A and B are shown apart, each in its own frame.
Chain A
């Protein structure tokens, strides 16, 4: 008993260390990648015509006049590079210090705190991801169960074709096609924006299509596998109806891998939402990243968005892992 507890503690500690390493890497990446930007961010934002005073003021306000890292290799007057040690007083530690206070700096474009820009957009992205997941599950579970219990029939083949299409058609093809059918031709739904409750249908379906295809395949093979288990024969022998066998017994066990995939896919959905949000002008984090951040070369916004999307992904994965362990006691021990 005591060794078991020790293993769990060690396992937990290991995961905490990995988590901290991941967080450290992500923050370091977003702070150091900005140094790779070709050209001067101040010129990119203010334009060539700005006065030297404007440049200086901009650099000072955003800390760009400070050394980027603990050391650097600046060019001297003769064009030679020398190693210079700056100590802890640099932009990298600045970003960390601010971050620990919940501050992600000011937007280069409109001087608003990046954290408030992100908080404004965050709910829209989460809403989109959750609806996409909901749609995917609502399609995949019935389709997968029917395909699995009617293996080799027309229904099964139909489900396979649908799943194949969902996997191979990328969202930026499915999305505009849906816009064409439902907004341009039928005029049932708006092509973009987030004003009416119905505006979420097309983006959520677009984002969830690939997931529903993956899930359908998983549910199908899971159902087929579980149907061959002894407990199914026992349940049938007890005289239970096929319906009860499938929905009460098979599905319950068959859904364990599905739950894992769902959690892991939440992160994939968040990344995929970047494309979907662009297609439908959905005002979430992805659109903030692509249009306001990358499009307007507002690197503070890019940093913040990448950081928040990554963190959400990491936390979603962590929670999935925990739920999975709780659901399936066989994994808890090992």
Chain B
């Protein structure tokens, strides 16, 4: 494993710990406003300073980790699960399911940008955490289905699968025991990159006012609140800390994904 992958893993472990123990780590109430304490610069009492309503930015960034990871984990799990099942069915059985999934769904979903689709869906469904997760899952599963279908098509022809079939193994046994374990590695890579994508999408939609509504401490919401000119002038740290949090999270999952891909595909290692 290369250095960057390890850095990524360390960051992710820290993020998970922060999310799990947020109430013990955050020194202040995330919603407690205090106008006499607004725009305070970073100090021993407020590590990341305070925002335009005097809320402690460190506490909000800490609780924001929960929202980001929650969205990421739910979206990746659900999309990977649905995508794997449909991709496996399409790849293994072929037929009209395959013709529909690979001929229609893949072409259509990949023909327009995911972010736009998410925006459109949330625009009609209304903002909110659950609707945001739903929208991201509807977009997300296609990538996993495509990946798994490709893997299944490849592995299906291997000798050991033919042997299992000759021995009379059932379709579900062949799929679960022989084919899927061989397709799991690229799935993990995809899931890691998917975490980065989901965290970024959540922050983007929340920034646009289409995700988690304020005053929830979503990093996207915090950045949206920090970017009006008077806040920017008085407290640039209100923008910088949640910005660093997003960048580190996205970077960490990308490092892990890239590192794993390189590790699993030795041809890429030389570069």
Instruction: Please give, as numbers and ranges, the residues of chain B lying within 8 Å of A98 by CB-CB distance.
Output: none
Instruction: Please give, as numbers and ranges, the residues of chain A lying within 8 Å of B267 by CB-CB distance.
Output: none
Pick the contact of B116 from A34, A172, A221, A274 — CB < 8 Å? Answer: A274
Tell me whether A302 and B120 are in contact (CB under 8 A): yes
Cα distance A176–B209 in the bound complex, in angstroms: 16
The yes or no answer to A275 lying at the interface (CB within 8 A) is yes
Cα distance A179–B228 in the bound complex, in angstroms: 10
Tell me whether B113 and A268 are in contact (CB under 8 A): yes
Tell me the minimal C-beta distance from B203 to chain A in angstroms.
7
The yes or no answer to B115 lying at the interface (CB within 8 A) is yes
Tell me whether B247 and A21 are in contact (CB under 8 A): no
With contacts A25-B108, A184-B232, A191-B229 taken as known, whether A172 is within 8 angstroms of B203 at the C-beta atoms is yes
Cα distance A295–B251 in the bound complex, in angstroms: 32
Tell me whether A30 and B125 are in contact (CB under 8 A): no
Pick the contact of B203 from A25, A170, A278 — CB < 8 Å? Answer: A170
The yes or no answer to B14 lying at the interface (CB within 8 A) is no
With contacts A21-B108, A30-B120, A164-B251 taken as known, whether A170 is within 8 angstroms of B115 at the C-beta atoms is no
With contacts A26-B112, A290-B208 taken as known, whether A221 is within 8 angstroms of B271 at the C-beta atoms is yes
The interface stretch among B63-71, B82-90, B219-227 is: B219-227
With contacts A268-B113, A317-B111 taken as known, whether A302 is within 8 angstroms of B251 at the C-beta atoms is no
Cα distance A306–B124 in the bound complex, in angstroms: 12
Tell me the minimal C-beta distance from B90 to chain A in angstroms.
17
Instruction: Please give, as numbers and ranges, the residues of chain A lying within 8 Å of B220 by CB-CB distance.
Output: 172
Interface centre among B113, B123, B236, B250 (most CB of A within 10 A): B123
Tell me the minimal C-beta distance from A298 to chain B in angstroms.
10
Tell me whether B113 and A36 are in contact (CB under 8 A): no
With contacts A34-B124, A302-B124 taken as known, whether A21 is within 8 angstroms of B251 at the C-beta atoms is no
Interface residues of B in 188-216 (CB under 8 A from A): 200, 203-204, 207-210
Tell me whether B124 and A314 are in contact (CB under 8 A): no
Tell me the minimal C-beta distance from B2 to chain A in angstroms.
13
**Per-residue 0/1 for A290-305: is the Cβ within 8 Å of any B Cβ (1 yes, 0 no)?**
1001110001001000
Pick the contact of A184 from B126, B226, B233 — CB < 8 Å? Answer: B233
The yes or no answer to A240 lying at the interface (CB within 8 A) is no
Cα distance A223–B197 in the bound complex, in angstroms: 28
Tally of B interface residues using CB under 8 Å: 42
Tell me the minimal C-beta distance from B229 to chain A in angstroms.
6
Cα distance A245–B26 in the bound complex, in angstroms: 58
The yes or no answer to A88 lying at the interface (CB within 8 A) is no
With contacts A34-B124, A36-B124, A38-B125 taken as known, whether A275 is within 8 angstroms of B208 at the C-beta atoms is yes
Instruction: Please give, as numbers and ranges, the residues of chain B lying within 8 Å of A104 by CB-CB distance.
Output: none
Tell me the minimal C-beta distance from B83 to chain A in angstroms.
19
**Per-residue 0/1 for A54-82: is the Cβ within 8 Å of any B Cβ (1 yes, 0 no)?**
00000000000000000000000000000
Tell me whether A306 and B227 are in contact (CB under 8 A): no
Closest residue of A by beta carbon distance from B199:
A170
Cα distance A240–B23 in the bound complex, in angstroms: 66
Tell me whether B108 and A172 are in contact (CB under 8 A): no
Cα distance A34–B121 in the bound complex, in angstroms: 9
Pick the contact of A314 from B112, B115, B125, B208 — CB < 8 Å? Answer: B112
**Per-residue 0/1 for A197-239: is the Cβ within 8 Å of any B Cβ (1 yes, 0 no)?**
0000000000000000000000001001000000000000000
Cα distance A267–B239 in the bound complex, in angstroms: 28
Tell me whether B120 and A29 are in contact (CB under 8 A): yes
Cα distance A293–B124 in the bound complex, in angstroms: 10
Instruction: Please give, as numbers and ranges, the residues of chain B lying within 8 Å of A274 by CB-CB distance.
Output: 115-116, 119, 208
The yes or no answer to A326 lying at the interface (CB within 8 A) is no
The yes or no answer to B5 lying at the interface (CB within 8 A) is no
Instruction: Please give, as numbers and ranges, the residues of chain B lying within 8 Å of A279 by CB-CB distance.
Output: 227
Tell me the minimal C-beta distance from A142 to chain B in angstroms.
21
Tell me whether B124 and A33 are in contact (CB under 8 A): yes
Instruction: Please give, as numbers and ranges, the residues of chain A lying within 8 Å of B233 by CB-CB distance.
Output: 184
Closest residue of A by beta carbon distance from B240:
A177
**Per-residue 0/1 for A28-59: is the Cβ within 8 Å of any B Cβ (1 yes, 0 no)?**
01100110111000000000000000000000
Closest residue of B by beta carbon distance from A167:
B254
Closest residue of B by beta carbon distance from A33:
B124
Closest residue of A by beta carbon distance from B220:
A172
Tell me whether A36 and B227 are in contact (CB under 8 A): no
Interface residues of A in 1-35 (CB under 8 A from B): 18, 21-22, 25-26, 29-30, 33-34
Tell me whether B120 and A33 are in contact (CB under 8 A): yes
Instruction: Please give, as numbers and ranges, the residues of chain B lying within 8 Å of A175 by CB-CB distance.
Output: 227
The yes or no answer to B96 lying at the interface (CB within 8 A) is no
B-binding residues in A (CB < 8 A):
18, 21-22, 25-26, 29-30, 33-34, 36-38, 164-165, 167-170, 172-173, 175-177, 179-180, 183-184, 191, 221, 224, 267-268, 270-272, 274-275, 278-279, 289-290, 293-295, 299, 302, 306, 309-310, 313-314, 317
List 5 additional A-B contacts (Cβ < 8 Å) besides A22-B111, A170-B250, A313-B112: A34-B124, A169-B246, A180-B236, A180-B239, A275-B207
Query: Could you write out 17 A-B pairs with CB less than 8 Å apart?
Result: A22-B108, A25-B108, A29-B120, A30-B120, A33-B121, A170-B246, A170-B247, A172-B223, A173-B239, A173-B247, A183-B229, A290-B208, A294-B123, A302-B120, A302-B124, A310-B116, A313-B111
A-binding residues in B (CB < 8 A):
104, 107-108, 111-116, 119-121, 123-126, 200, 203-204, 207-210, 220, 223-224, 226-227, 229, 232-233, 236, 239-240, 243, 246-248, 250-251, 254, 271
Closest 7 pairs between A and B when the two form their complex, measured CB to CB: A271-B113, A173-B243, A176-B227, A168-B251, A33-B124, A294-B123, A22-B111
